[in-house]
Structure 1
Amino acid sequence: DAAARTNIKLPSYTVFDLFATYEISDDMVLRANIQNITDEDYYTAVYRGGSIVYIGDGRAANLTLSYEF
């Protein structure tokens, strides 16, 4: 199948992530993480001559509170 052998070059991209940690006490830590802070549109892979394209993740955020006892 000729479509499966077609080489497709994906455009380059830059994604910025942000991570912060705040130690509330010796036992408690707050962590914040934002992935793709600019909400960049990008592709991570392409297969079968362009019929399958993997889109990169959009902006996402996580907030974690950890406590050790």
Structure 2
Amino acid sequence: MERIQRFANKYEKAAALAKQFPAIEPWVPTKPKLWQSEPRNCILFEALSLAKEIIDPAIVDQSRMLSDN
């Protein structure tokens, strides 16, 4: 499946998903320092993003238009 990158990085994507799903806000990963490894919970937000695109791509496009305003 070809995926369009709608955010500059995975941390912005996670923050946008947390706005849509407030229940997951406590798990939003913070950007690590250059020498630190990526937070493990990044993969959860990547999976949620992919699931949203597969289930209903139109909803993803609408949410993108709303965040652009």
> Fold-level match, TM-score > 0.5?
no
**Normalized per residue, which structure has more helix?**
2
**Normalized per residue, which structure has more strand?**
1
Give the TM-score, by structure 2 length: 0.21
Give the TM-score, by structure 1 length: 0.21
Q: Between Structure 1 and Structure 2, whose CA radius of gyration is higher?
A: 1
